[in-house]
Amino acid sequence: MKYKISVIGLGYVGLPLAYELSKYFDVVGFDIDKTRVEQLLNNIDKNTQISKLNLKKSNFTITSNSKLIKDSNVYVVTVPTPIKKNKTPDLSPLIKSSKLISKCVNKKDTIIYESTMYPGLTDEILIPLIEKISKLKINKDFYVGYSPERISPGEPLKSLTNIKKVISGSSPRSIQILKNIYKKIIKAGIYIAPNIKTAEASKILENMQRDLNISLINEASIIFDKLNINTYEVISAAQTKWNFIKLTPGLVGGHCISVDPYYMKFKAEKLGYKPAVISSGRKINENMALYIAKKIMIFFRDKKQSKFQLGIMGLTFKENCSDTRNSQVFKIIDFFKNKNIDVEILDPWVNKQLIKNNNIKQRIVEKFTKKLDCLLIAVAHKKFTKLRKNFYVHNMKKNSLIFDVKNILKNNSFKNIEKLTL
In a domain, 46, yes or no: yes
- Encode pLDDT of 175-215 as tens digits: 999 999 999 999 999 999 999 999 999 999 999 999 999 99
Measured distance CA(345)–CA(369) in Å, rounded: 10
Are 127 and 249 contained in the same domain? no
In a domain, 34, yes or no: yes
- Encode pLDDT of 311-334 as tens digits: 999 999 999 999 999 999 999 999
Banded model confidence at residue 308, pLDDT cuts 50, 70, 90: very high
In a domain, 324, yes or no: yes
According to DSSP H, which parts of 227-275 are helical? 231-238, 260-270
Are 162 and 286 contained in the same domain? no
Long-range residue pairs from 335-339, CB within 8 A, at least 24 positions apart, any chain: 335/289, 335/290, 335/293, 336/293, 336/310, 339/297
CATH number of the domain residue 386 falls in = 3.40.50.720
When pLDDT is averaged across residues 153-172 and rounded to a whole number, the result is: 87
What percentage of the chain reaches a pLDDT higher than 90?
Answer: 91
Question: Is the CB of residue 222 less than 8 Å from the CB of residue 194?
Answer: no
- Encode pLDDT of 24-35 as tens digits: 999 999 999 999
Are 105 and 189 contained in the same domain? yes
CB-neighbour burial class of residue 366 (10 A; exposed 0-12, middle 13-18, buried 19+): exposed
- Encode pLDDT of 101-111 as tens digits: 999 999 999 99
Banded model confidence at residue 96, pLDDT cuts 50, 70, 90: very high
Range of the domain at 399: 219-420
Please state the domain count of the chain. 2
When pLDDT is averaged across residues 373-398 and rounded to a whole number, the result is: 96
When pLDDT is averaged across residues 155-177 and rounded to a whole number, the result is: 90
104, 256, 321, 374: the active-site residue: 256
Are 162 and 93 contained in the same domain? yes
Measured distance CA(255)–CA(382) in Å, rounded: 21
When pLDDT is averaged across residues 378-397 and rounded to a whole number, the result is: 96
In a domain, 161, yes or no: yes
According to DSSP H, which parts of 50-171 are helical? 52-57, 92-102, 121, 127-134
Q: What is the pLDDT of residue 358?
A: 58
Q: What is the pLDDT of residue 362?
A: 63
In a domain, 203, yes or no: no
**pTM of this structure:** 0.94
Are 177 and 317 contained in the same domain? no
DSSP state of 208: H
Are 282 and 143 contained in the same domain? no
Selected residue with higher pLDDT from 130 and 411: 130
Are 125 and 254 contained in the same domain? no
Banded model confidence at residue 411, pLDDT cuts 50, 70, 90: confident
In a domain, 202, yes or no: no
256 is catalytic: yes
What percentage of the chain reaches a pLDDT higher than 70?
Answer: 97
Distance of CA 45 to the CA centre of its chain: 17
In a domain, 256, yes or no: yes
When pLDDT is averaged across residues 129-135 and rounded to a whole number, the result is: 98
Q: Which residue from 343, 346, 351 is spatially nearest to 383, judged by alpha carbons?
A: 346
Mean pLDDT of the residues in the chain: 95
In a domain, 8, yes or no: yes
Long-range residue pairs from 182-185, CB within 8 A, at least 24 positions apart, any chain: 182/147, 184/21, 184/23, 184/24, 184/25, 185/20, 185/21, 185/23, 185/24, 185/160, 185/161
Are 15 and 153 contained in the same domain? yes
Are 130 and 272 contained in the same domain? no
Are 291 and 176 contained in the same domain? no
- Helix/strand/coil for 145: strand
Are 174 and 230 contained in the same domain? no
Are 257 and 182 contained in the same domain? no
Confidence check: pLDDT of 352 > 80: no
Task: Give the number of C-alpha atoms closer than 13 A to the C-alpha of residue 387, restricted to the C-beta side.
Answer: 22
